[in-house]
Structure 1
């Protein structure tokens, strides 16, 4: 496999447009916006409905893991959210990673 080849679609809508559209339609309805008095952060009412748990990747070769992770995970967004303490700020729970969307 050469460095320039990418066997997986870069965005979810390329591989499954219907699923991508359904997610985009449903997620905004779940967002809770903080009120001017007392609300702290935006959050999802039912995050579990749109959260995926990946299989354990350690069983695969390193090169394959890197291809999969580069194709589906948005590391730039993860870094930004972690720096702002909006993602993975609590060390007592499993780490979350954002998926690429579009």
Structure 2
């Protein structure tokens, strides 16, 4: 199973399991990372959190932005704790730019 690791401003590393866009997920909480993979390189597109991965991508409010940026994969870091997911999201967004997370998208 392919993985990618993102580091937060805190210096902590978070491992994400990579799935093709369109994968059906179980009903679990997690942090998700939308990416475009080309020539084994990841282009960051969006980072978000959800308490239910099985329904989060149905009519996602940023889907147009994902398509405009050529999203090909969704990477998942499972977490059942809402406060932990929020902490991880904030930590990673502090360090990296994700175009679909910007205010005007």
TM normalised by structure 2 equals 0.25
Higher fraction of helix: 1
Higher fraction of strand: 2
Q: Point out which structure has higher relative CO (alpha carbons under 8 A, 6+ apart).
A: 2
- Which of the two has higher C-alpha Rg? 1
